[in-house]
Amino acid sequence: MFWKETLRLRTLPIITKIIISLFLVLTGIGYLLGFTNIYMTYNMVDEKPGLSIKDISLTYYGARDKTTLEKAIDGSMRQYFLDKNEYKIVKDWVVDGASEDVWDSEIESIFDASCSTCHSEATALAGVVTEEYSDVEELLTQNSGKSWSRIVGVSHTHILAITPLVFLLVLVLSFTSYPLLLKNVVSLFAFSAVFMDVGFWFLAKLSPFFSVFVLIGGMSLGLTFGLLVVLPLYDLWIKKV
């Protein structure tokens, strides 16, 4: 890319070759530290060691199945309602957004009769209290993953930091003695990897289906850094003409 015929990197004075090599090596170390940071931050999200698709989907999409309250009334707590109709009233209330007005007018009395015997301030079985709206509110939060504003915030620093770095590395690669085709393919791949790496975060926020692509994007960026660091170093010091 950029230059077709040049004085190749390898013909530079030794001190210049060392300086360029230091740039390459430090960039490689920087990438590995960045990767370690990602691993250490995210590998335990699903409470199991090792970075997995589950870690990624919990991070970006969150666990949006049901709230704690909904799970409980659909599960082992359902038997405590006086009748089916009361269950239905509470279920509809939860699904409709669990407003405080309806709590006051209809729900509180049901909970007082059916739930708060075991879930009073004093007994608090399973650490759950169902006496006041503020108690029940805690059972209604849903985990929807990383916020959009956080994703936008991280993406802009990520893109603005990585793109110039990749550009410099591509520039170094363009002065190597590899075939033009190889240089072009690696360079185009490098920029598309930056694009994929960040782009898939947004898609993974929309749907857990894309979590696996976040992994693919991350691996593409890893491969990019690997190639852009190793190829020029090999060309500088080892490759025969």
Interface residue list for ligand HEC (CB under 6 A): 68-69, 71-73, 76-77, 80-81, 114-115, 117-119, 125-126, 128, 130, 139
Report the SS3 class of residue 153: helix
Q: Distances in Å between the alpha carbon of 134 and those of 27, 118, 146?
A: 51, 17, 25
Whether the Cβ atoms of residue 144 and residue 64 lie closer than 8 Å to each other: yes
Q: Give whichever of 79 and 157 is closer to ligand HEC, judged by the CB atom.
A: 79
Q: Give whichever of 129 and 172 is closer to ligand HEC, judged by the CB atom.
A: 129
d(CA 52, CA 55): 5
Burial class (CB in 10 A: 0-12, 13-18, 19+), 225: buried
Q: Give whichever of 107 and 227 is closer to ligand HEC, judged by the CB atom.
A: 107
CB of 42 vs ligand HEC, minimal distance in Å: 25
CB of 49 vs ligand HEC, minimal distance in Å: 24
Q: Give whichever of 50 and 137 is closer to ligand HEC, judged by the CB atom.
A: 137
CB of 231 vs ligand HEC, minimal distance in Å: 53
CB of 111 vs ligand HEC, minimal distance in Å: 6
Neighbours of 121 (CB within 10 A): 11
Q: For residue 66, which of 148, 145, 141 has the smallest C-alpha distance? A: 141
Q: For residue 210, which of 60, 63, 65 has the smallest C-alpha distance? A: 60
Q: Give whichever of 13 and 97 is closer to ligand HEC, judged by the CB atom.
A: 97
Q: For residue 200, which of 225, 219, 226 has the smallest C-alpha distance? A: 219
CB of 53 vs ligand HEC, minimal distance in Å: 24
CB of 136 vs ligand HEC, minimal distance in Å: 8
CB of 110 vs ligand HEC, minimal distance in Å: 8
The backbone region for 62, taken as left when phi is positive above 0, alpha when psi lies in -120 to 50, beta otherwise, is: left
d(CA 67, CA 142): 6
Q: Give whichever of 134 and 149 is closer to ligand HEC, judged by the CB atom.
A: 134
Q: Give whichever of 128 and 228 is closer to ligand HEC, judged by the CB atom.
A: 128
